[in-house]
Chain A
Amino acid sequence: MTGPSAAEPQDMRDMFRSMLLIRRFEEKASEEYMAGRIGGFLHLAIGEEAAVVGTVSAMRADDPLTSTYREHGQALARGTDPRVVMAELLGRSTGLCGGRGGSMHLMDRSRSFYGGYGIVGGSVPLGLGLAYAIRYRGGDQVSVTMFGDGATNQGVVAECFNMAGLWDLPIVFLILNNQYGMGTSLEHASAEEDLYPRAEAYGIPAWKVDGMDVMAVRGAVAEATRMAREERSPVCVELLAYRYRGHSMSDPDTVRDAEEKERWRLRDPLITFERVLLGEAVMTADDISAMTAEVEEQVEDAATFAEQSPEVPVGELADGVYANPFNDDARGGALMR
């Protein structure tokens, strides 16, 4: 079985719905943050929906996915219930990870989403390990690991390119190049502006696509996963994209210039895809309004669910540190002070 490639009208509608859901969900999350119900860091992927949805739509449901901390979209696109995602963001007991992880650390193993991680570059070897496990077990899945332009400068990413090339592991390295790592621009941080040639240096086929165009992303990732699946070869795809918000909610986003932001705004992936859908008569304007209303309702419902969910009982603080717990301390094990 190969992954999906040609997009049927229904696929396109699903992709649009998924992008809308991510956009509205994250807008709602930013409100929850402003209201003080979400704490810590909240990294929004608004502007990057095409990169996320195009990727996930080209993957098989059993292809493992790993991501960075900017991963609400990955969970939602994989089909995780927005209610439990929002509940995790609010740190509630009904949250996807029981309130332990928060916004930066979503994981839905039941959907082969193997998590969002907070250490830049740190998740890439995990994606490689998932690929290793696939080959070890003789499976035909492909591991997809998404990371940022900034992360490509971590040494561990080069180490992973080498091992993937050396051992022909079934992995797609997806560089989500939004051109900034916090306040540092790509040109300020990288000796070369193109990032995918770094993978080529290890014999990995690699190319760059327009990450604001969901159909282009889907096509590229479909081809990449096909190669990794059928030819048992690692592949690297660089998605050129842009985030519309600051690095996180606490970043006033004063570094990027207004003219640049405006230029990328014109390429809003939702607006451009909507044009395609209307132009190709995949959806009518009425269909789109109806879908938007549905998604908005779903997001409101998720927020209500999260807000009304109970807090995590404090007595459970020390639960789950180990898979095989022990208690070697007469004063109360892990809760010892």
Chain B
Amino acid sequence: MSTDAAKPVAYRDALNQALREELARDPDVFLLGEDIAGFDGAFKVTRGLLEEFGPERVVDTPITEAGFTGLAIGAAMTGLRPVVEIMTVNFAILAMDQIVNNAAKIHYMFGGQVSVPIVIRMPGGGGHQLSSQHSQTLDSWFAHVPGLKVVCPSTPEDAKGLLKTAIRDDDPVIFIENEGLYGKKGPVGGPDDLIPFGQAVVRRAGTHCTVIAHSRMVWVALQAAEELAAQGIEVEVIDPRTFRPLDLDTLAGSVRRTGHAVIVDEGWPEYGISAGLATHLYEACFDWIDAPIGRVNCADVPMPYAKNLEQAALPQPADVVAAVLANIGRGVS
């Protein structure tokens, strides 16, 4: 390993490295999105790529999500590998028809004649006082749909390694970043370090309770784990990393060992990621668990603007601590 590889890299720069390396490796890869070229991207993920690869491969689009997402899907049907940046997941709602009715269906519906090797990258999540229309966590919308692969990296290393895998994958991959993670630093892999889909990772080992969290919530869960450790409670924090495919074996294996599970999900509680994971775990671990599975979610409201309300709506480490204590029967619940 070079000394460079050991240097901590910000999540946004890890993504940038993956894009740069894949653009250099494969001439079929090109980038498309609003303000990604001249403006370096709303979150500066594509910085410098226009200069390096030119306007044919790093393309600024008009504000027309349905149109350019569909265009990328069409181009992908010929074997090109477009990586679309949608400025935030909230605007992917405008492209939902193209993603769900086209990208997710084409390989199956046409008997496997063409695949759609597209990646759609976008950040989700709240916490920046952007109010209801700009703070949503919609991971479950995509994870609901057969035909899509859904990836939610929580670290720079995963951001890079999973994005490279996504670009080389032959199916449509929904790659959900998080606005609160772009500045997060950590080690990253080299040009050949791909991280396979469908492998959960244990972020912290423990015996008393399994805490499942993804994306920014991994860090909330880890903070809670620190606080619980101070009380002598060791939780095992597991990051599924991808929801399609899902590494249920690792999640269920941990829950069977600890007998307790709490799921932390920035999405809403109703019919979402936490609900889906809980169902899987009930089915896989019913005879092993000692308490109903705990869930910590965003409050079931459109996100408010006011800072105090927003903080109250979002899952906080204290909420995770309380949920774990309640789950293992030590809290005041």
Contact = CB atoms under 8 A, between A and B. Distances in A.
B112 interface: no
A128 B302 CA distance: 25
Interface of A: 39-41, 91-92, 99-105, 117-122, 150-151, 153-155, 181-184, 188-190, 255, 311-312, 314, 316-318, 321, 333-337
Contact of B308 (A119, A122, A312): A312
A333 B93 CA distance: 26
Contacts of A184: 34-35, 38-39, 60, 62
B90 interface: yes
A334 B62 contact: no
A35 to B, nearest CB: 14
Given A40-B131, A154-B94, A100 B305 contact: yes
Contacts of A39: 128-129, 305, 307
Chain A facing B: main interface SS: loop
B308 A151 contact: no
A86 to B, nearest CB: 14
A87 B34 CA distance: 32
A105 B42 contact: no
Contacts of B90: 118-119
Contacts of A150: 62-63
A336 B269 contact: yes
Nearest to A151: B63
A314 B38 contact: no
Interface string B128-155: 1111111000000000000000000000
B295 A102 contact: no
Nearest to B61: A189
Point out which of B34, B42, B128, B305 has the most chain A C-beta atoms below 10 A from its C-beta: B305
Contact of B131 (A100, A190, A335): A100
A105 B132 contact: yes
Interface residues of B, number: 42
Nearest to A319: B301
A91 B306 contact: yes
A183 to B, nearest CB: 3
A103 B131 CA distance: 9
Across the A-B interface, give the 10 residue pairs with the lowest CB-CB distance, nearest first: A183-B39, A102-B305, A91-B306, A39-B129, A40-B129, A99-B306, A153-B62, A118-B133, A189-B62, A334-B300
Interface stretch (B6-14, B101-109, B225-233, B312-320): B312-320
Given A183-B39, A190-B62, A314-B309, 4 more contacts: A41-B130, A41-B134, A91-B305, A312-B306
A184 B61 CA distance: 9
B42 A40 contact: no
A21 B184 CA distance: 41
B288 interface: no
B91 interface: yes
Contact of A321 (B38, B302, B312): B302
A117 B299 contact: no
Contacts of B295: 337
B115 interface: no
Given A153-B64, A318-B301, A334-B300, A183 B319 contact: no
Contacts of A190: 62
Interface in B17-68: 34-35, 38-39, 42, 60-64, 66-67
B304 interface: yes
B309 A99 contact: yes
B38 A155 contact: no
B296 interface: yes
Contact of B129 (A91, A118, A189, A311): A91
Given A39-B129, A117-B133, A314 B308 contact: yes
Contact of A154 (B63, B93, B308): B63
Contacts of A101: 131-132, 305
B296 to A, nearest CB: 5
B297 interface: yes
B289 to A, nearest CB: 19
A203 B309 CA distance: 47
A321 B299 CA distance: 11
